[in-house]
Amino acid sequence: MNPFLTQVVIQTIINNKNKKPNQFPESPSRFRLAKAYREFKLLVKRILKDVVLIGLGIAAAAFGLESFLLPSKFIDGGATGISLLITELTNIPLYVLIIGINIPFVILGYKIIGKEFAIKTAIAITGLAICIAFVHFPEVTHDKLLVAIFGGFFLGSGIGLSVRGGAVIDGTEVLAIFLSRKFGVTMGDVIIIINIFIFSAAAYFLSIEAALYSMITYLAASKTLDFVVLGIEEYNGVTIVSSHSEEIRQMIIDTMGRGVTVYCGKRGYGKRGEGKEIDIVYTVVTRLELNKLNTEIEKIDPNAFVVMNTIKDTKGGMIKKRPLQH
């Protein structure tokens, strides 16, 4: 291995894991170095993937806003909808409002989700504002129904791609997570209540027609968002079958900060044999944590069999009691 690359791996992976100064020798073993190098490659791959997804999300959202929603004076739900509504009423530039309105949500995300998520979200929101300010897309159509549907489609695609990259470009979801944990209501209920106020304000200040078309925009955006993130709802149950079940269990507890259930099962017929007993790990995470969970599982066992299923909501356990990790 290249000496420079070796030092990078040692500094970013090995030393970062050493909580005690002398826990490991200065020169790590070849096995430990090879394992750290593999984790380093996964880290770089994840960062590049996140950058591409967030970049595409910014471009899609900016296109939907500039080519469809802004020319027709339609709005969306959430923080983006609030920004669009204020822009129409005050002529304050949209890129200024997108940053200003989302700042509290970024701070809240830092407190309840984590530093990495907050940094990614701040970069994504700033990137969207810069794109709107300096990159100008042409108006595509004057048909109001097409504007509502495809404006929502591109905006929802942008938000969904950003979520896949581990960030959000609309902070409402962060607020919904916070309020759902504080008051014991579902995230969906919180988002609906917020949007009722937004569309009511649009009907009062703009027009009833604009508010109705904006509701179509919101529905198109929300359905597209669900499609882009593979139908992920608020929570996801994850079942993991792996020969490294103990390491995965410990990772979920220590790294993800989540509760875990272990089932005793047997492998079926396959190339690894028949009837072998194995521990099956089950956990519940939010959709914002899936990206990190998949990366951590791949670090431990690339051949792990992982099944994910949608959960509408949860009650009890640790999922709503402990801070979210990303």
What integer best gives the mean pLDDT of the chain?
84
97 and 202: one domain?
yes
182 and 263: one domain?
no
Host domain of residue 60: 47-228
Distance (Å, rounded) from C-alpha 293 to C-alpha 166?
11
Distance (Å, rounded) from C-alpha 188 to C-alpha 176?
8
Distances (CA, A) of 266 to 218, 243, 274, 275: 46, 11, 8, 5
221 and 251: one domain?
no
**Predicted pLDDT at 232:** 47
Distance (Å, rounded) from C-alpha 156 to C-alpha 64?
9
**Predicted pLDDT at 10:** 65
169 and 300: one domain?
no
> Is the predicted pLDDT of residue 157 greater than 70, yes or no?
yes
**Predicted pLDDT at 137:** 92
Distance (Å, rounded) from C-alpha 5 to C-alpha 36?
11
Q: Is 172 part of any domain?
A: yes
Q: Which of 88-102, 165-179, 200-214, 312-326 has the lowest mean pLDDT?
A: 312-326
Look at residues 183, 204, 228 and tell me which one is the last residue of a structural domain: 228
Average pLDDT on 63-84 reads 91
Q: Is 111 part of any domain?
A: yes
Q: At what angle do helices 94-112 and 115-134 cross, to 10 degrees?
A: 170
Contact assessment for residue 68 and residue 147, using Cβ atoms and an 8 Å cutoff: yes
What percent of the chain stands above pLDDT 90? Answer: 44
Q: Is 273 part of any domain?
A: yes
Q: Is 221 part of any domain?
A: yes
Look at residues 185, 206, 228 and tell me which one is the last residue of a structural domain: 228
Average pLDDT on 264-288 reads 77
260 and 276: one domain?
yes
**Predicted pLDDT at 36:** 77
SS (H, E, C) the chain: CCHHHHHHHHHHHHHHHCCCCCCCCCCCCHHHHHHHHHHHHHHHHHHHHHHHHHHHHHHHHHHHHHHHHHHHCCCCCHHHHHHHHHHHHHCCCHHHHHHHHHHHHHHHHHHHCCHHHHHHHHHHHHHHHHHHHHCCCCCCCCCHHHHHHHHHHHHHHHHHHHHHCCCCCCCHHHHHHHHHHHHCCCHHHHHHHHHHHHHHHHHHHCCHHHHHHHHHHHHHHHHHHHHHCCCCCCEEEEEEECCCHHHHHHHHHHCCCCCCEEEEEECCCCCCCCCCEEEEEEEEEECCCHHHHHHHHHHHCCCCEEEEEEECCCCCCCCCCCCCCC
89 and 202: one domain?
yes
Q: What does 84-100 look like in DSSP terms, one character per residue?
A: HHHHHHH---HHHHHHH
Q: Is 63 part of any domain?
A: yes
Indicate which CATH number applies to the domain containing 256: 3.30.70.120
C-alpha radius of gyration, the chain, whole number:
22
- Helix, coil or strand: residue 283: strand
Q: Is 200 part of any domain?
A: yes
Given the structure tokens 């139908």, which residue do they identify? 231
Domains held by the chain: number: 2
- Helix, coil or strand: residue 305: strand
CA-angle at 225, arms to 53 and 229, nearest 5°: 60
Average pLDDT on 268-278 reads 67
Burial 82-101 (b: 16+ CB within 10 A, else e): bbbbbbbeeeeebbebbbeb
180 and 159: one domain?
yes
Distances (CA, A) of 11 to 18, 29, 57, 168, 227: 10, 15, 32, 30, 39
> Is the predicted pLDDT of residue 129 greater than 90, yes or no?
yes
160 and 199: one domain?
yes
95 and 211: one domain?
yes
Average pLDDT on 80-107 reads 93
Look at residues 228, 249, 270 and tell me which one is the last residue of a structural domain: 228
> Is the predicted pLDDT of residue 309 greater than 80, yes or no?
yes
| 51 token code pair | 């950058």
Q: Is 146 part of any domain?
A: yes
pLDDT digits (tens, 9 = 90+) for 103-118: 999 999 998 888 989 9
304 and 206: one domain?
no
191 and 68: one domain?
yes
184 and 286: one domain?
no
pLDDT digits (tens, 9 = 90+) for 193-239: 888 999 999 999 989 999 999 999 999 998 888 788 755 456 888 99
Q: Is 322 part of any domain?
A: no
> Is the predicted pLDDT of residue 189 greater than 50, yes or no?
yes
